[in-house]
Amino acid sequence: MTDIAAILTRIERAMAQETERGRVADYIPELGTVDPARFGIAAAMADGRVISAGDATLPFSIQSVSKVFALSLALGRLGDACWARVGREPSGDPFNSIVQLEADDGIPRNPLINAGAIVVSDILLAGRTPESAVTAILDFVRRAAEDEGIGIDTAVATSESDTGFRNRALAHFMRAAGNLDHDPEETLAVYFRQCAIAMSCEQLARAGRIFAFAGHTGPGSDALITPARARRINALMLTCGHYDGSGEFAFEVGLPGKSGVGGGILAIAPGKASVAVWSPGLNAVGNSRLGTMALEMLARETGWSVFGGV
């Protein structure tokens, strides 16, 4: 049997040796204050165990990893009608690209880039105040992680709102194109706060179980999403979860995954484990440098790549 605890410890030791740790995102000023020396990894297994190494209980800003949870909720609310407003194709462009949106008449390529996630926030806002839409997202994440202690880092949310001019440009453009139903400021109030959810690797790995185990948090639990939805969100994570680094991540790691500029990555080994890794320094395409390296090592040592082999 694969000894996951030993593998995670080996990974954590190997990453501690790395001197080139990438660059901490500072375009959201509050994120720039995070210590680049941090590294944590956790795996939530099919038998209910959560195994971890390093700084796995320290909360960090999950940023774009939140997009898979918001999407789960939006699909639950609106079903396949969501796909009239957001596509399902990889963008091959940076996470906050504006160019494509104009060419595509305000329909974002997929729900895991910023423009697509802003549409998802708009769907979740229907019939609600921004506060109750955010509460719905937070409740969903708490239920998935079975942890009521998960919250929002309001300093990060304010910092992003104060400086989020590019996301405002995306939202206003989509409103002009008829693809936002609400005042862009209200939609962004949901989006910015959802991105500022803070979770530790252990909490995030537990929340990701719904994607690893066909909607369930564990054996015998009620499903939070249908198996078909979990499968489809995994497909989107594989093709679109790392922006224009998605092809490389599939090539090197071979697992559905979603990264965030806070340095977190959620990776799903279907039927086997939900894995969360965190290291704040990013590579050139905005994905955690050590987090990606750690997942490459994990995939090699476990043989968990969805493409088989080792």
Catalytic site positions: 64, 67, 191, 243, 261
In degrees rounded to 5, what are phi and psi of residue 70? -65, -40
Tokens of 136: 């719905």
CB of 95 to ligand GLU, least distance (A): 4
Handedness of CA 181, 228, 131, 168 (dihedral sign): negative
Matching residue, tokens 């959810």: 197
The Cα–Cα gap between 14 and 31 comes to 25
Does 159 participate in binding ligand GLU (rule CB under 6 A)? no
Residues 18-37, one symbol each (x = binds ligand GLU by CB under 6 A, - = not), give --------------------
The Cα–Cα gap between 184 and 172 comes to 6
Q: Which of 52, 63, 161, 305 touches ligand GLU by CB under 6 A?
A: 63
Q: Which of 39, 60, 95, 213 touches ligand GLU by CB under 6 A?
A: 95
CB of 130 to ligand GLU, least distance (A): 16
CB of 145 to ligand GLU, least distance (A): 19
Does 160 participate in binding ligand GLU (rule CB under 6 A)? yes
Does 187 participate in binding ligand GLU (rule CB under 6 A)? no
Q: Give Cα separations from 5 to 53, 75, 212, 310 (angstroms).
A: 8, 35, 19, 19
Does 110 participate in binding ligand GLU (rule CB under 6 A)? no
Does 96 participate in binding ligand GLU (rule CB under 6 A)? yes
DSSP state of 47: T
Q: Which is nearer to ligand GLU, 223 or 285 (CB)?
A: 285
Q: Give Cα separations from 28 to 58, 146, 282, 294 (angstroms).
A: 20, 29, 14, 25
Does 125 participate in binding ligand GLU (rule CB under 6 A)? no
Query: Any residues with CB less than 8 A from the CB of 157 and at least 6 apart, and which?
Result: 192, 193, 195, 196
Helices (H), 2-98: 4-16, 66-78
Residues 252-281, one symbol each (x = binds ligand GLU by CB under 6 A, - = not), give --------xx--------------------
* Sites of contact with ligand GLU (CB under 6 A): 63-64, 95-96, 114, 160, 167, 195, 260-261, 286
